[in-house]
Amino acid sequence: MTATAGQQQRPSVSMIIPARNEEACLGDCLQSLVAQSGVVFEIIVVDDHSTDRTREIASSFPQVIVIEAGPLPEGWTGKNNAVTTGARRARGQWLLFTDADTVHLPGSLARAVAEAQENNAEFLSYSPEQIAVTFWEMATLPVVFAELARKYPPSMVSDPASPIAAANGQFILVGRNTYDAVGGHGAVAGDILEDVALARAVKRTGRKIRFRYAPDAVRTRMYRNYRQLRDGWTKNLALLFPEPVWLAAKMLALWGTPWLALLLADATHSWWWSMVCAAMFAYVVTRLMGANFTWGKLVLGVLFGMPMFAYLLLRSKRAHANGRVPWKGRTYSDKPALLATGR
């Protein structure tokens, strides 16, 4: 039941969607959110100065509250400014921050609240099922998400005794009291990787966070063409992996070894090199299995995604080193947090 259906009842959950030029996906996202049941909620779309039909699409849903993100403060990223604007308007006991490119399965909101409560978690984040359509999506995403799973194992992230913290900004459910206690997104205003920064802030206070892969709750198609994929991971990879050059070299070595063994097997007619080739190929396929993709996409990842991942790591490292990280018409930097903005 939505808040508009029971206007005297305070919503249990406020869903906040920052949206900047999201006409391609916002409608599907909102359709999946307005259909949720089992919990009282409100939906807030924050239009982040869009120049397409984003606001029109959001306004076509009578259950949705549409507000405008204010002027971008110096030192803030656009997303942090937008979600903070939404949080100020929100009345829920829980805040769900989710992106416009997500689709939420029926009943997933109520199940997420119950999961957080049953696990005494003040901060619950889901890693969505990733939808890959184009060639470079299918080849690259298995490698990226396999390495993320190795760097940020969900079991360790969810362990209060572990210092590892992580989150996926496409689905973050956080108690309002906890959100306010850590300063909300305002406390990480200049962080490009705001989801991980917020998770770290929560975990530092001793509050429990929970993180898992959740194909039963939410799915997403993050990027719809090569340029979006390239720019999106350029923005994030050097922040997610502190030693991107070393990891790029490792990826290229893992990718090149089976091919080298295959060439040696052909040149020497040696069964031993053939076995090395087969074993290395099996190893790299197994390495990618943690990404939760089909076998066909894993093979594409081994053949083409690993060198692409290495390229994106190096591109991300260079962009951050130069202090110019473009994203959605704005240019960000780690030092200082914001160089330039665009409408």
Q: Give the model confidence (pLDDT) of 278-337 as tens digits.
A: 998 899 999 999 999 999 999 999 999 999 999 999 999 999 999 888 888 888 876 543
pLDDT score, position 76? 94
Angstrom distance (rounded) from CA 281 to CA 268: 19
User: Model pTM?
Assistant: 0.91
pLDDT, tens digit, 9 for 90 and up, residues 199-218: 999 999 999 999 999 999 99
Q: Are 64 and 30 in contact (CB under 8 A)?
A: yes
For range 135-152, the mean pLDDT:
97
Structural domains of the chain, ranges and CATH numbers in brackets: 3-128+168-224 (3.90.550.10), 240-340 (no CATH)
* Confidence class for position 266, pLDDT limits 50, 70, 90: confident
In this predicted structure, what is the pLDDT of residue 3? 44
d(C-alpha 139, C-alpha 157), whole Å: 27
- The answer to whether 213 and 130 are in contact (CB under 8 A) is no
Whether residue 7 has pLDDT greater than 50 = no
> Prior bond to 106 cis, omega within 30?
no
Q: What is the pLDDT of residue 8?
A: 53
Does residue 336 have a cis bond before it (omega within 30 degrees)? yes
Give the mean pLDDT of the chain: 92
* pLDDT (tens digit per residue) in 333-343: 765 433 333 33
